[in-house]
């Protein structure tokens, strides 16, 4: 934490930086403009910085940011200074939270489908049977089951997901 705060103090004026320590290793930091262009672009796009040159001893460090799902990437790229677009790599991970984090609705749907034999071969229950037990329509039930199985598969195979190391 001291390294980060020291780097910020060296690069920013006192009036542009405010910090408060809560307990060891935790602090609240507020930076006002003028901040580096990547910080401003990330803030405007609703994202957070997870790695930046301010955290390293190198002047030419790399920025790594996380942006919310949706069309905010175009906002981020628009706000970057001229000439930086050629050095930007964008990765879109498919899982936004732990692959095993099923919602209660997904967990219930999977349990009912499994208990009734929907996943058996040959099937002992149809999609309609599972839908009636859940009190939902067939298309909604299928969507719930697909999302749940996608999360389970993601938790099993997430280590094989390749994401570029720089943004």
Stretch 74-88: mean pLDDT, rounded? 67
Contact 124, 117 (CB under 8 A): yes
**pLDDT reported for residue 122:** 92
pTM over 0.85: no
Check pLDDT > 70 for residue 111.
yes
The C-alpha angle 7, 10, 11, rounded to 5 degrees, equals 90
Neighbours of 89 (CB within 10 A): 10
Check pLDDT > 90 for residue 75.
no
Rounded to whole angstroms, how far apart are CA atoms 16 and 108? 50
Name the nearest CA neighbour of 84 among 67, 66, 60, 68. 60
First-to-last C-alpha distance (Å) of the chain: 23
Check pLDDT > 50 for residue 21.
yes
Point out the least confidently predicted range of 23-27, 34-38, 83-87. 83-87
Check pLDDT > 70 for residue 93.
no
Name the nearest CA neighbour of 148 among 108, 94, 115, 116. 108
Task: Give the residue, 148 or 5, on which the prediction is more confident.
Answer: 148
**pLDDT reported for residue 99:** 47
């Amino acid at each position: 934490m001291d390294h980060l705060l020291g780097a910020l103090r060296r690069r920013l004026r006192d009036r542009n930086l405010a910090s408060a320590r809560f307990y060891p290793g935790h602090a609240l930091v507020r930076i006002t403009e003028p901040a580096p262009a990547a910080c401003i672009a990330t803030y405007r796009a609703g994202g957070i910085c997870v790695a930046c040159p301010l955290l390293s001893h190198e002047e030419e460090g790399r920025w790594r940011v996380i942006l919310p799902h949706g069309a905010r990437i175009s906002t981020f790229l628009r706000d970057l200074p001229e000439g930086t677009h050629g050095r930007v790599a964008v990765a879109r991970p498919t899982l936004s939270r732990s692959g095993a984090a099923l919602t209660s609705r997904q967990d219930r749907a999977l349990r009912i489908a499994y208990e009734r034999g929907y996943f058996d071969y040959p099937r002992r229950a149809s999609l309609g049977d599972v839908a009636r037990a859940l009190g939902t329509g067939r298309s909604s039930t299928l969507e719930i089951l697909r999302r749940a199985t996608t999360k389970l598969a993601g938790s099993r195979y997430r280590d094989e997901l390749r994401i570029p190391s720089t943004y």
